Structure 1
Amino acid sequence: MPPRLPPPHRVDVAIGLGGLLGGLLLMGLGLRGGVYLGELSPITLPQWSTVTALVAMAVAELLRRVAPGTALALGTAALAVDLCGGSLIATVLMYTDLVYAAVLYGPASLARRLPPACVATTVVATVVPLALLRTPESLFIGLVTALLTFAPAGTGAIVRNHQEAAEAARLEAERTALLAELDRREAVVAERGRMARELHDRVAGHLSAIAIHSTAAQSLGDAAATDQALTVIRENSVLGLAEMRRLIELLRDADGEPEPTAAPTLDALDALVERARSDATSVSGLKFTLRDDRPSGGAALPAPVELAAYRIVQESLTNTLKHAAPGEVTVRLAQHADGPPEGGVLQGGVLEVGVTSPYDTRPGDTHPGPRAPGSGMGLIGMRERVSLLGGTLEAGPHTGPSGAVWRVRAVLPLDGKGAMTR
């Protein structure tokens, strides 16, 4: 069963009805013969054929938008009948509209092929009458054919091209807006992740130290040790509060220009390790060592790499205070020109950051719990920082020369191809 055509557009109904009434009025006034084939017509049809052609052309106008190809075929047949019976100008004008509509509303194949076909028809209508009649007046037949076919087809092609260009521009604008929205959402997510990492790295260490020393202060019977623990608690409270204020100011001044703060670098690792020693006064048996095996006098490292390395060491030392067994905690830095010895070659060199701490492997109830509660976000933040720089991170138990240790090892490329991170 063939598909059912949609109802004609109201504009097409108005065009068809107006053309039909106009043609009947012209016939009533005796204004026929607008275009007539004359001697070239092999037959001469009666006057009623003109009315038949007019009605068929009006019906074709109803299909100009819903079925342009069918409308053009019906209109072409009606025009041939009209020209053989003494044409009406209303019928001829409606045919030009059908040609225009076929190019404008028809499928792409019809819109592409119809203008060249109109050109070919115009050439034939010019050459053949001139060869048969051999009179200058016969050239008017070609001119009339061009006005009936090529002119409306060319106009339809121009309008269609403009509409397609406008639609393409609209789609491109929508695509650009969609990409902009996706970029905005991605930027919001990235900024939230950055702020979460900064909040955790800057404040979590101080809060962990407060939790550890407050627990120690409750359990110690020595007044001097209690005073020392309270001193550490106060120092970390003040520092944590200062960091929170800086972050809040940064968030509140997002639309302005907040005062820039210096990002920590590897030169501050000595102070970081010293603070870890101070925070570990309530944890018996922990010793901290910093080994910087980088070549002396080397070029400065990229700022994102230094910041990521500092934050990794900072988080590792915080976790050491919460989980490590008594023993030596070692922070080691090394720089390799072509990648770490056991790793693949990375062009531009890499910075290797390692933190090892004693790891208690005793099973069951004898295994001590953490000295301060943790959220598990520290390891996630370290992985995010390393991933943004295109590096690798290993964190877990490791068997070394001195026994079982917990090792954090990050390899950070120095080629600057990773994403900038804070």
Structure 2
Amino acid sequence: MRLPRPHRDDVLIAAAGLAGGLLLWSLGVHTKDDGRPLSGPWVTLGPLVVMAAMELLRRTRPQTALVVGTVAIVADQFTPGSIATALMFTDIVYAAVVYGTPAAARRIPYTTGMVTVAATIGFLVWLREPVALLLGLLVGLVSFGPAATGALVRNHRDAADAARLRAEQTALLAEMDRTQAVTAERARMARELHDMVANHLSAIAIHSTAALSLDEPATTRQALTVIRENSVAGLSEMRRLIGLLRDSSGDAEPAASPTLAGLDALIAKARTNGEAGGFRFVLEDARPEGGNEAPALPAPVELAAYRIVQESLTNALKHADPGEVAVRLAGAAEKAGKALTVTVTSPFGSRPGPRAPGSGAGLVGMRERVALLGGTFEAGPVEGPPGGPAKVWQVRAVLPVENDREPSA
């Protein structure tokens, strides 16, 4: 099996340890001067060379280095010994805890601690002198001390890694929140821009097409009048929206949010735009205490209902057959509380004459508004009423109202 390439720092440590050990050996410096079973001039170099070789594996194979290094340090006790061998063994114990597996990092400090205690007791029983405590302390310095230091370093490193990971996750979540907020704001701006300007542009498109296709001065003048009115109104809405987007100083006059009280004016404007096309617009408020006497609903609900009616009337002018366009408001009892039901119906069929192009963004915007309030939205052809057209296009939105109110005391 091919051994992994050692780290550059490990090569330097091994070279420094081997060079230091050779220097001490050449000077005759040993850890023990008394007679040993192996006392030849070269026996000290064996454990020294093996320990230096294990330093090359301190990062890549820390457990192998620890096992072989332990055998080498034990063998060194039968020779005159070398300080460099003992110092390199302490580094290998430290590296086994820092770079080894989590299980080894937990096991080695306990093992070396028990070895230190056992060695101290053994020396006391054998020697029966206070010097046995010093020998036990020496064993602890060589084995348990490096293991405990490695455990502390590894714990701090793991804590730093965990903190860095949490910081990265927090930054990622913050970026996701920012992206979602920007996306939601862009969608809200798109809905507002579409709802405020699309009806004016649709009326302009329809009447300009009629003026170009009909060679009647009276019809052309009436179409140009409607075009001018809608152009002025659309330009005013655009200027107000652009002013709100640009002005962040708070000095801009806040725009009043549309409410259901403005439906009468909205229907009257639709009558003006659709009169030449044969449209009739009807508003029916079937809520309890309907009309101007109806209690105010939460602002998000009133805004959504107003925009849904506005977009439905615009779509009727663009796509519906001539006939009656009915807007109906009603209260409905829901399981979670009361709700406002908005229904708009218009004749459905193959309409002759000029049409304004549609993109489908209006239906998407209405559906999004209802979804933000937790309501339900339906749009499509249904059976017409008795005595009326066979098919009508119906837009129906159910908007919960009580969930948006402040809790009562």
**Residues 369 and 101 from structure 1, CA distance in 2 versus in 1: closer, same or farther, beyond 3 angstroms?**
farther
Question: Identity rate of aligned residues, in percent?
Answer: 61
Where does 1:87-236 land on structure 2 (aligned, <5 Å)?
87-219=81-213, 223-236=217-230
Amino acid at match of 1:293: A
Pair 1:300-2:296 in alignment? yes
Helix, strand or coil at the partner of 1:375: coil
Alpha-carbon shift at residue 46 of structure 1 (Å): 2.4
Contact 2:379 2:395 (C-alpha < 8 Å) held by counterparts: yes
Paired with 1:416 and 1:262, the residues of 2 have a C-alpha distance of 23
* Aligned length, in residue pairs: 398
Match of 2:5 in 1: 7
Aligned partner letter, 1:381: G
Cα separation, 2, equivalents of 1:23 and 1:257: 81
| Amino acid of the structure 1 residue aligned with 2:320 | A
Indicate yes or no: 2:363 matched with 1:379. yes
1:254-300 alpha-carbon deviations (Å, 9 max, x no partner)? 6977543121111111111111111112112x211111122226653
Indicate the SS of the match to 2:31.
Answer: coil
| 44-53 vs 8-17, which moves further | 44-53
Contact 1:302/1:416 (<8 A) preserved: no
Q: Report if aligned partners of 1:34, 1:89 keep a CA contact under 8 Å in 2.
A: no
CA distance, structure 2, for counterparts of residue 218 and residue 97 of structure 1: 93
Q: Is the 8 A contact 1:96 1:148 kept in 2?
A: yes
Indicate the residue corresponding to 2:347 in structure 1. Answer: 358
1:334 to 323, 330, 334: 330
CA distance in 2 between partners of 1:35 and 1:231 (Å): 117
Q: Which ranges in structure 2 are unaligned for 5 or more consecutive residues?
A: none
The one-letter code of the counterpart of 1:301 is L
* Structure 1 residues 315 and 34: alpha-carbon distance in aligned structure 2, compared to 1, 3 A threshold: farther
Which of the residues 59, 65, 81 maps onto 1:65? 59
Partner of residue 318 from structure 1, selected from 304, 309, 314 = 314
Q: Say if 1:359 and 1:406, in contact at 8 Å, map to a contact too.
A: yes
Structure 1 residue 249 displacement after superposition: 2.4
Equivalent residue number for residue 290 of structure 1: 283
**Aligned CA distance change for structure 1 residues 156 and 257 (closer, same or farther; 3 Å):** farther
Per-residue deviation at 1:159? 0.8
Q: Is the 8 A contact 1:35 1:89 kept in 2?
A: no
From 398, 401, 408, the equivalent of 1:414 is: 401
TM-score after normalising by structure 1:
0.88
The SS at the match of 2:337 is: coil
What's 1:29 paired with?
A: 27
* Residues 61-86 of structure 1, C-alpha deviations (whole Å, 9 max, x = no match): 11111110011111111100111212
Residue 223 of structure 1: how far off its partner (Å)? 4.2
1:45 to 38, 42, 64: 38
Q: Is the 8 A contact 2:301 2:401 kept in 1?
A: yes
**Aligned-pair CA distance for 1:201:** 0.8
Q: Could you tell me which of 323, 344, 348 is aligned with 2:337?
A: 348
The answer to whether the Cα contact below 8 Å between 2:24 and 2:30 also exists between their aligned partners in 1 is yes
* 1:417 Cα offset (Å): 6.9
The CA RMSD measured in Å over matched residues stands at: 2.3
Match of 2:50 in 1: 56
Question: Residue type of the partner of 2:139?
Answer: T
Change (3 A) 1:320 1:90: same
Corresponding residue of 1:342: none
